[in-house]
Each structure stands twice: as C-alpha cells, then as structure tokens.
Amino acid sequence: MFKGATILTMDGKSADMPAGDLLVEGDRIAAIAPELAVDDAEVIDSTGMVMCPGFVDTHRHTWQTPLHGVRTDWNLLDYMTYIRGMYCVSYEPEDAELANWVGALEALDSGITTLVDHSHLQLSAAHSDALADGFLRSGIRGIYCYGTYRNLAYQPGQPAQDLPGLLREVNGPLNAWHKRNATRIREKYFPDDSARVRFGIASREFETLPESASMLKELRWARSLQPARISIHVGMSAREPLNVIRELHKVGEMGSDLLFIHGNHLADEELQMTIDAGASISSAIEIEMTYGAFPVVDRFTAMGGQSSLGIDATIDFGGDMFGQMRALLNVWRLERSLKNPRKMTRKVHQKKVLEIATVRGAEAIGLGGITGSLAVGKKADLLLLRTDALGLAPMWDPYAAIVSYGQSSLVDTVMVDGRVVKRHGRLLGIDWPTVRASLGRSKDNIRRRFSLIPEQPIRARWAQGFRIDITD
C-alpha cells in the first residue's frame, strides 16, 4: 500500500488528493482514499511525493537504444539513409536483444509503464526472436509491433556492386518470409490478446508507395493476424506520393485498430476521417520539431481527436517522457500564441499534457480499460515522483512538478502490473555497470560493421522515395 502521496488519478472523475493512500492487490488497484486502514499490507511511505499513472509511450523504435547521440544534426533524409539503410543492417541478433531490453528499461526508469514498440529491425528469424525476447524480459507493458518493412538485405562488407539490385527491393511488397515470420512471432511470443505485451503490426512506409494496391493487400493480411494495433508512419512530409488516409477512407479500410504516427501534414479533412474511424495519432514532438513541422496535437484535440505521445527515435534526445511533455507544452503554447497574435491567450496547462501522456495515450492504443489512470480495478501501473529536490521544491502545483520540473532521476518508484520495478530511485535487479559494458561492446561492433557500408547509393534511393533533390 502506498501511503501519503499527492495522488493525480487522471481518470476524469475523482478529485485529486493532496495526500492519499492507494492499495494494490495482486496486479490491480484495490482501493484509493484519503486514508485507508489496512493492517496486513506492506507500506510504501509516499509522503512528499506525487503519484500519477505510469506514462504511455505510443511510438518508439526501441532497437535504436544503443545509438544515443549517434549524430545530432541530421535531417529526415540523413535519418533514413544512416539509420534505416545502414545502422539497421549493422545489428547482429545479440545487439537487437540488448537494445530492446535496455530501451524498455530506459523507459521504465523514467516512469513509462506502457510502450508501443514499432519494431522494424526484422532482419532475420534470429533478430526477430532476439527483439521479442529483449522486450518481454524488461517487464514493461505494451504492444510489440512487428515491422513488415523489407530491410536492405545487404551484409556489411559485401561487394558494393550488389547494392543496386538489393535497393530495388526496399519497400517492395510484403514478402512471403515476413508473412511466415510475423505469424511465427505472433504465435510463439504473443499468443494471448490480454497479456501484458500484446501483438501488433508496424507497416511498411505506405506513404512512399506509388499507388495503394499493395498497401491494401498488406493491411488485409495484417488484420488476419488480429493485431492490437497497426502502427503506420504518415504525413511526415507535404510531398508524400501516396495519401494513405484518403486512400484507406475511400475503400472503407479505416478502422479503430490504426495508430497513425506523426501526421504533421495531414489536412483537417484527413484528421476528421481519422476521428470518424476511431483511429488515433501518436505525436513524437522532439523529432517532429527537428524535421520542421508543428505537431498535430492542437488541431487534432480541438477537433475531438485521440492524441497521444511517442518518443520515436532516441538517437538525438533521451528516451524519457519528461522531455516530450515539456516539448509539447512549449510548442503548444507557441502555436496558440501564433494563432492569436492580437489576443492575450491563456497558456495551456500542464494537466492537459499529462492527460495526453497517460490516460489519452492508453485510450489511443485500446488499453484505456486497464491502464492510463488510477482507478479501482485497473492494473497497478504508476509512478512516484520526489518533490523534495533542489530545482523542484517547494512544490506548488503537482502537474507542473511532473511536466515542467520532472526528470527520470526524481522518479522514486515505478510499478507495472502490481510489481515494483524501480524503488528509491533505482531499477531493481539491474547491475548497471555490467549492462553498460555490454552496451559499449555492442556499440563498437555496430560502428565497425557500419563503416563497411557504402553510403551514396542508399542515400540516392531514399531521396527518390521522398522526392527530394540531393544535388546540394
């Protein structure tokens, strides 16, 4: 039982408690009240801390965890060339396992208890096993989305003349191997649709296709596996060859199982199609600002849409939710001010941002019934934030404490599924020096393989996909 925390339930019904108790029985919340009298429960003294639901990250490429700060000045074409074309094929299965495990730990450490992994590193059956194993053993809740993207079938060190033929395959139609492999992963690791980690699909880059037939074919196949969500990158550029949402709408294939990622360049009409279908959008604020577009959150939520927050690629910033929440708060306020230059617009409150990072996120991925808010009967997924630290104390507003002053080092306790995974500021059962040494070895191996890959043909292929002129 947690005793004495400032409790932010985020369930939209019960009032916040300046000091309250929360009882966990098994994996669920059994009671929440200003004061609970329970004799036989283990007590976690939460005095002076803020409790809120665990954060929900609806979009992350967890396999990119070992690439922290690999380069920090890239544009989208650089990202596609280096990460999706080159670093991707520099991973061996052991790198993939370590990356997914540590990436999920990084999330847990910052209070993210639910994570949607858009996992497009499915290079071989061994890689797929490793990715699923790493994700599952972290203990996090989430949806593991198998990526059907056809990675470049190039081995570092292979002759460069093999590349042009292989590049023609990239983003080619869904192949038989992916179909077999995805089905195998679904059955072997994620057979239970009510398990802590559920199965999902991460689609190919539909927006770069010349026409919709192969997208529709893939989507129908994906739905035959009954995924919890189908994660689709969309609307990242104003010049995408295929208008994914309009095409899906036209043929009646929009649905509440679709989780659109980014969508910065979607027109209001497409946002309305998304809302009408019960689909949702994940905004990864920091990376979207890097690539030069306002997040869709202000427009989409004003229309009644289901917005959520994702972290996306952790190659350029940390994998915690605090950075994303702060970025959203600031860009949202800026956007509001720019839209009303002659008015003194009241600023967006931190509570709206925390809602999107918790309860709205859970609803966006179909898990609103079990997580995302603190309510009796829901799974016990929560965090405690210390408020006694220099830089935060003295606390006035608990929402501001989390969104504007929070950081992973202030997260004292994290619970997922009724199990404490972080306590007194440390992840339990993790020997960090040993894990860090493994990451270092993995980094060296990835870097060595990367150096053996020719860059130019790969860059040209993606420039063509995005219709970008790369002559500068």
Report in angstroms how near the CB of residue 168 gets to Zn ion at its nearest: 24
Helices (H), 369-416: 398-403
Residue by residue, DSSP assigns 299-345 as HHHHTT--EEE--B-TTSS-SSHHHHHHHHHHHHHHHHHHH-TTS-P
Query: How far from 377 is each of 26, 52, 192, 404, CA to CA, in Å?
Result: 11, 16, 20, 30
> Could you give the C-alpha distances from 290 to 29, 172, 404, 405, in angstroms and in order?
39, 28, 21, 23
3-state SS assignment for residue 367: coil
311, amino acid identity: I
**Nearest CB to Zn ion, comparing residues 63 and 190:** 63
Is the Cβ of residue 61 or residue 378 nearer to Zn ion in the bound state?
61
CB of 310 to Zn ion, least distance (A): 7
Q: Which is nearer to Zn ion, 6 or 203 (CB)?
A: 203
Strands (E), 203-291: 230-234, 258-262, 280-283
Centre a 10 Å sphere on the Cβ of residue 332 and count the other Cβ atoms it contains. 21
Residue closer to Zn ion by CB (options 145, 356) is 145
Q: Which is nearer to Zn ion, 262 or 461 (CB)?
A: 262
CA–CA dist 380, 374 (Å, integer): 8
Write down the least CB distance from residue 107 to Zn ion, Å: 15
Nearer to Zn ion, 21 or 312 (CB): 312
| Cβ-based neighbour number of residue 424 at 10 Å | 8
197: helix, strand or coil: strand
Least distance from Zn ion to the Cβ atom of residue 283, Å: 11
For Zn ion, which is the closer residue by CB, 60 or 186? 60
CB 237 within 8 A of CB 218: no
Q: How far is the CB of 261 from Zn ion (least distance, A)?
A: 5
Q: Least CB distance from residue 121 to Zn ion, whole Å?
A: 12
Nearest to Zn ion by Cβ — which residue? 312
- Which helix (H) or strand (E) element contains residue 88? none
Nearer to Zn ion, 66 or 398 (CB): 66
Q: Nearer to Zn ion by C-beta: 76 or 400?
A: 76
Residue 179: phi and psi, rounded to 5, are: -60, -45
Q: How far is the CB of 260 from Zn ion (least distance, A)?
A: 11
Smallest gap, in angstroms, from Cβ of residue 288 to Zn ion? 10
CB 207, min distance to Zn ion, A = 12
Nearer to Zn ion, 57 or 363 (CB): 57
Size of residue set near Zn ion by CB under 5 A: 1
Residues 309-368 that bind Zn ion (CB under 5 A): 312
Q: 58 or 373, CB closer to Zn ion?
A: 58
Residues 297-316 that bind Zn ion (CB under 5 A): 312
Coil, strand or helix at 21: strand
- Sign for the CA dihedral angle at 363, 367, 368, 373 comes to negative
Q: Show the beta-strand stretches assigned E in 75-152.
A: 112-119, 141-147
Distance from C-alpha of 105 to C-alpha of 93, rounded to nearest angstrom: 18
Write the binding mask 174 to 213 for Zn ion: x where contact by CB under 5 A, - elsewhere.
----------------------------------------
SS (H, E, C) 24-85: EECCEEEEEECCCCCCCCCCEECCCEEEEECEEEEEECHHHHHHCCCCCCCCHHHHHHHHHH
In the complex, least distance from residue 61 CB atom to Zn ion, rounded to whole angstroms = 6
Query: Cβ of residue 412: shortest distance to Zn ion, in angstroms?
Result: 31
In angstroms, rounded to a whole number, what is the distance separating the alpha carbons of residues 406 and 52? 12
Q: What does the binding site for Zn ion look like in residue numbers (CB under 5 A)?
A: 312
